[in-house]
Structure 1
């Protein structure tokens, strides 16, 4: 890499992000440059893509459905005909979201209080769901918890808090509903929302990385074991999608927001609606042959970060000419 000494690759990136074609938006923290010039090739299209009525006469159970990605997925499924049940600890937030989506789509959304860290609470919430609307046809494990911290500062309680929500909570919901489905001889589509670092691992959110990885193994294992009962299990790994809840704990000062675009190949963040469309497809009958899949949806962030030489795309033409001359002058090596 000696040939690159003196080349300021970071400087080459700055006008691409901060130039006149960039757009700003904010969501409770400092504004973020949402697009780079080449993002025009990758426009957002996040209205429901499936046919109206795709989920008619189907019940969907969504954890963490009151806010963020959960709210977006609930909105899309409801717009496509599903009778949705959203579950989390904050009943006030759930009820407000349920009323909002019901008014928007015309399909009833139910709010059920549930602490997924507590098996008894999960059992009560699922029983309430079954009594009010029936066994779910769609189950989306979306509820999560996370915060940034050096691992040496983690207490046993901090570790337990995240793993109880992410891994144990997903297991409690999945096993409770799955056992009822088996007894009733009824199939269903299960979906879990994880993250790209469930695959790679990452520092500073180690409990989340470990728990999300466990969720993925739970889903792929059950995709093999419970297919005989008519159940499918799939996973979405979203890249950076700005939601207030997630970013308030992962980037509380807004300091790291601008670095996201440098990592994302298509030059923009994802939107909740884009994730919701993929979720709806995977939970629909159109995807009845998709099970055990882990789908990365991150605008090319993972592959862009993984490639050792990908940063060379910021080298200017003039710098490439210099490099070429240096390489051609090197002999015998």
Structure 2
């Protein structure tokens, strides 16, 4: 059951990069359930087509396009294919692997390619960031540098493109339990310590990010521009200063 009114995004088209799996896979499903038609973009069709089929099986409209976001020409072709399929693009949701060449450059390429469509339709940019760079996280230099750049890009576009009625925002997730990264890379002893660092006492779920994404893409957020919404249960604010229960 959705927490949002039915059809809150009816008539809109979302271009979702990395939309086959993980957090952006959830975002794509949530935007579809809210009424948007969705184009899923990633390098590997074997991830995209099953995700698109799951959306279609639930009554949504989804279209899969293979493109390497590091290659501007491929992104432009994916935008053009989406416009040919759905008529327009007015939302761009972006998340990639956590390295500068893919994450930061890929986000830049997608925003640049989508600009003319977003300008026509007073569109929205929604980037997926992180909180690792807020406090300095050991062994996460590559992620931190990439996501700090995504935050700066998000805010810069809010200022530069706001005059075209394009809103640019981001979501910074904290530890999300039902992602592959948490399940595969975080051992039980680290997971237990990580849980203690979250003031609300639970890990996030992909559904938490989905809710934030639908809100930011809806008219309810029409005056929110240049924001990075942290969805982490208060973890980064605690930064080692948690209160033991």
Q: TM-score, normalised by structure 1?
A: 0.70
Which residue of structure 2 lines up, in the alignment, with residue 141 of structure 1? 94
Q: Which runs of 5+ in 2 are unaligned?
A: none
Report if aligned partners of 1:201, 1:210 keep a CA contact under 8 Å in 2. no
Q: Distance in 1 between matches of 2:170 and 2:6?
A: 24
CA distance in 2 between counterparts of 1:271 and 1:97 reads 18
1:223 to 140, 154, 158: 158
* Residues in 2 aligned to 1:56 and 1:288: alpha-carbon distance in whole angstroms: 16
Match for residue 262 of structure 1?
196
Match of residue 44 from structure 2: 90
Q: Which of the two has higher C-alpha Rg?
A: 1
Name the residue aligned to 1:10: none
Q: How many aligned positions are there?
A: 245
Q: CA RMSD in A?
A: 1.7
For the Cα contact (< 8 Å) 2:155–2:169, is it kept in 1? yes
Secondary structure in 2 matching 1:125: helix
Conservation of the 8 A alpha-carbon contact between 1:87 and 1:112: yes
- Go from structure 1 to structure 2 and tell me whether the alpha carbon gap of 1:102 and 1:235 turns closer, same or farther (over 3 Å shift): same
User: Match of 1:39?
Assistant: none
- Per-residue CA deviations over 1:174-233 (Å, capped at 9, x if unaligned) read 011014434xx3310111111112323322110110110001110101101101111001
Distance across 2 between alignment mates of 1:127 and 1:299:
39
Question: 1: distance between equivalents of 2:236 and 2:2?
Answer: 26
- Among 63, 69, 72, the alignment partner of 2:26 is 72
Residue 131 of structure 1 and its aligned partner are, at CA, apart by 1.1
Structure 1 unaligned blocks of 5 or more = 1-46, 147-161, 315-333
Counterpart for residue 153 of structure 1: none
Contact 1:281 1:287 in 2 (8 A): yes
Greater RCO (Cα-Cα under 8 Å, separation 6 or more)? 1
Q: TM-score, normalised by structure 2?
A: 0.94
